[in-house]
Structure 1
Amino acid sequence: MFTRPILAAALAMLVWSAPGPASSQAVVAKSHRALDLDAAPSAEVTPDPLAQPEKDAPAPLAPGMPVNAAAVSPQEQADPIVVLVRQRLNDAAARSIPGHRDDVAGLAAFYASEAGRSIWTGKAGFTARAAAAMAEIRKADDWGLKAAAFDLPVLPGSAPSPEVLADAEIKLSMAVLTYARHARGGRVDPRSISRLLDRKPSIFDPKSLLLAVAGSDAVDAYLRGLHPKHPQFEKLRQALLATRGATTEETPAGNVKIPAGPLIKPGRDHAHVALVRQRLGLPPPSEKETVYDDALVEAVKGYQRQRGLAPTGNINASTREALNDTRRGAASTNVKRILANMERWRWMPEDLGAFYVWDSVPEQMTSVVDAGKVVLSEKIVVGKPGSPTPIFSADMQFIIFHPSWGVPPGMKTHELWPQLRDSGGGWFSTKPLASSVLNAHGLRVTRGGQPVNPDSINWSSVDIRGFEFTQPPGPRNVLGIVKFRFPNKHDVYMHDTPERHLFGGAVRAFSHGCMRVQNPVRLAEVLLARDKGWPAEKVQEYVKRGGEIVLSTPIPVHITYFTAIVDDDGKVQYRPDIYGLDAKVASAIEGQAVHLVAATDPDETAAPSVRAPSRPVRKKAKEQAAFNPFAALFGN
Structure 2
Amino acid sequence: MITVIALSLVGAAFVPWRAHAEDLPVATPETSGQPPAGTQNETPNAQIGNALETLSATLSGAPAALCAKLADKNASPFEAQDRAAVAAFYQARQCSPLWVDEQGPTRAATLVMAELAHAQDWGLKASDFDLSAVKQPMPLGSWNPDETVAAELEITAAVLRYAHQAEGGRIPEPTKQLSGYLDRTPVITDAATVLARMAGAAKPDETLRAFQPSHDQFLKLKALLARLRGGTPDDAKRFDIPRRGAMLEIGVSDPDVATLKQRFKIASAQGSEQVFDDALAAAIKNFQASKSLHADGIVGSATRAKLSGEDLASSPEKIAAVIANMEEWRWMPRSLGDTHVLVNIPSFSIVLTESNKPVFNERVVVGTPSTQTPIFSKDMTKIVLRPRWNLPNSIKATALRTGRSVERQGYVVMRNGRVIDSSRVNWGRAKLSEYTIYQPAGDDNALGLVKLLFPNKHSVYLHDTPSRSLFNARVRLFSHGCMRVRNPQQLAQLVFNIDRGNQTPNVGHLVDKGPMDNQFDLNKPIPVHVGYFTVWVADDGTPQFFEDYYGHQKRITLALADKWKDIDVTQEHVTPEALDTSSAKRIRIGGRRDEDGNSERRYRGYASRHGEEGRSRDEMGLTGSGSGYYSGGNTVGDMVRRALGF
TM-score (norm 1): 0.66
Provide Cα deviations, 1:406-445, integer angstroms capped at 9, x if missing partner. 22122223x23322xxx4xxxxxxxxxx43x5322x1112
Picking from 67, 79, 92, the partner of 1:86 is: 67
**Offset of residue 536 of structure 1:** 6.5
In the alignment, is the contact (CA less than 8 A) between 2:228 and 2:314 conserved in 1?
no
> What's 1:370 paired with?
354
Are the structure 2 counterparts of residues 222 and 458 from structure 1 closer, same or farther at C-alpha, using a change threshold of 3 Å? closer
Are the structure 2 counterparts of residues 378 and 204 from structure 1 closer, same or farther at C-alpha, using a change threshold of 3 Å? same
In the alignment, is the contact (CA less than 8 A) between 1:305 and 1:575 conserved in 2?
no
Structure 1 position 187 matched with structure 2 position 185: no
Picking from 484, 487, 502, the partner of 2:452 is: 484
Provide Cα deviations, 1:278-333, integer angstroms capped at 9, x if missing partner. x9646799xxxxxxxxxxxx99x989977xxx7699xxxxxxxx9xxx99995221
Picking from 554, 559, 562, the partner of 2:525 is: 554
**Offset of residue 216 of structure 1:** 1.8
SS of residue in 1 equivalent to 2:334: coil
Structure 1 position 538 matched with structure 2 position 506: yes
In the alignment, is the contact (CA less than 8 A) between 2:56 and 2:64 conserved in 1?
no
SS of residue in 1 equivalent to 2:213: coil
Structure 1 position 231 matched with structure 2 position 216: yes
> What's 1:132 paired with?
111
In the alignment, is the contact (CA less than 8 A) between 1:355 and 1:368 conserved in 2?
yes
> What's 1:438 paired with?
407
Picking from 135, 152, 169, the partner of 1:169 is: 152
Letter in 2 for 1:371: S
- Cα distance in 1, alignment partners of residues 111 and 199 from structure 2: 13
Structure 1 position 508 matched with structure 2 position 476: yes
Alignment of 1:402-481 (within 5 A): 402-413=386-397, 415-419=398-402, 423=403, 434-435=404-405, 437-440=406-409, 442-457=410-425, 459=427, 467-481=435-449
**Offset of residue 180 of structure 1:** 0.7
> What's 1:273 paired with?
none
SS of residue in 1 equivalent to 2:522: strand
Provide Cα deviations, 1:544-595, integer angstroms capped at 9, x if missing partner. 2242111111101111111111112212121232212222111111223899
Are the structure 2 counterparts of residues 458 and 92 from structure 1 closer, same or farther at C-alpha, using a change threshold of 3 Å? closer
In the alignment, is the contact (CA less than 8 A) between 1:364 and 1:381 conserved in 2?
yes
- Cα distance in 1, alignment partners of residues 449 and 312 from structure 2: 51
- Cα distance in 1, alignment partners of residues 293 and 605 from structure 2: 11
**Offset of residue 147 of structure 1:** 1.2
In the alignment, is the contact (CA less than 8 A) between 2:56 and 2:68 conserved in 1?
no
Alignment of 1:514-533 (within 5 A): 514-533=482-501
> What's 1:342 paired with?
326
Are the structure 2 counterparts of residues 141 and 549 from structure 1 closer, same or farther at C-alpha, using a change threshold of 3 Å? same
- Cα distance in 2, alignment partners of residues 305 and 541 from structure 1: 34
**Offset of residue 465 of structure 1:** 5.7
**Offset of residue 206 of structure 1:** 1.3
Provide Cα deviations, 1:249-301, integer angstroms capped at 9, x if missing partner. xxxxxxxxxxxxxxxxxxxxxxxxxxxxxx9646799xxxxxxxxxxxx99x9
Are the structure 2 counterparts of residues 454 and 304 from structure 1 closer, same or farther at C-alpha, using a change threshold of 3 Å? closer
> What's 1:155 paired with?
136
> What's 2:377 paired with?
393
Alignment of 1:284-295 (within 5 A): none
- Which moved further from structure 2: 162-171 or 445-454? 445-454
- Cα distance in 2, alignment partners of residues 491 and 124 from structure 1: 61
> What's 1:617 paired with?
none
- Cα distance in 2, alignment partners of residues 131 and 107 from structure 1: 21
User: Whose Rg is larger?
Assistant: 1
Letter in 2 for 1:439: R
Are the structure 2 counterparts of residues 471 and 91 from structure 1 closer, same or farther at C-alpha, using a change threshold of 3 Å? same
Letter in 1 for 2:167: R
Alpha carbon RMSD of aligned pairs, Å? 4.5
**Offset of residue 403 of structure 1:** 2.3
Alignment of 1:192-211 (within 5 A): 192-211=177-196
Are the structure 2 counterparts of residues 532 and 439 from structure 1 closer, same or farther at C-alpha, using a change threshold of 3 Å? same
Are the structure 2 counterparts of residues 168 and 396 from structure 1 closer, same or farther at C-alpha, using a change threshold of 3 Å? same
In the alignment, is the contact (CA less than 8 A) between 1:528 and 1:534 conserved in 2?
no
**Offset of residue 141 of structure 1:** 0.8
Are the structure 2 counterparts of residues 456 and 397 from structure 1 closer, same or farther at C-alpha, using a change threshold of 3 Å? closer
Letter in 1 for 2:74: A
Are the structure 2 counterparts of residues 539 and 328 from structure 1 closer, same or farther at C-alpha, using a change threshold of 3 Å? closer
Picking from 202, 207, 210, the partner of 1:217 is: 202
In the alignment, is the contact (CA less than 8 A) between 1:103 and 1:177 conserved in 2?
no
> What's 2:582 paired with?
none
Structure 1 position 333 matched with structure 2 position 317: yes
Provide Cα deviations, 1:492-551, integer angstroms capped at 9, x if missing partner. 211111211211111111111111111111111101111111466633454222421111
SS of residue in 1 equivalent to 2:171: coil
- Cα distance in 2, alignment partners of residues 460 and 180 from structure 1: 52
Please list every run of 5 or more consecutive structure 1 residues that lacks an aligned counterpart in the other structure.
1-55, 68-73, 248-278, 286-297, 314-321, 424-433, 596-604, 614-622, 625-630
**Offset of residue 380 of structure 1:** 1.2
**Offset of residue 336 of structure 1:** 0.8
**Offset of residue 103 of structure 1:** 3.8
Please list every run of 5 or more consecutive structure 2 residues that lacks an aligned counterpart in the other structure.
1-15, 26-54, 233-241, 249-282, 296-305, 568-602, 612-632, 635-640
In the alignment, is the contact (CA less than 8 A) between 1:125 and 1:155 conserved in 2?
no
Letter in 2 for 1:357: V
Structure showing greater relative contact order (alpha-carbon pairs closer than 8 Å, 6 or more residues apart) = 1
Letter in 2 for 1:552: N
- Cα distance in 2, alignment partners of residues 498 and 328 from structure 1: 40
**Offset of residue 460 of structure 1:** 5.6
- Which moved further from structure 2: 166-175 or 553-562? 166-175
SS of residue in 2 equivalent to 1:550: strand
Provide Cα deviations, 1:351-388, integer angstroms capped at 9, x if missing partner. 11111111111111111101221011121111111111
SS of residue in 1 equivalent to 2:506: helix
Provide Cα deviations, 1:207-242, integer angstroms capped at 9, x if missing partner. 121122122222222222221111221211111111
Picking from 104, 107, 111, the partner of 2:90 is: 111
Are the structure 2 counterparts of residues 416 and 156 from structure 1 closer, same or farther at C-alpha, using a change threshold of 3 Å? same
SS of residue in 2 equivalent to 1:393: strand
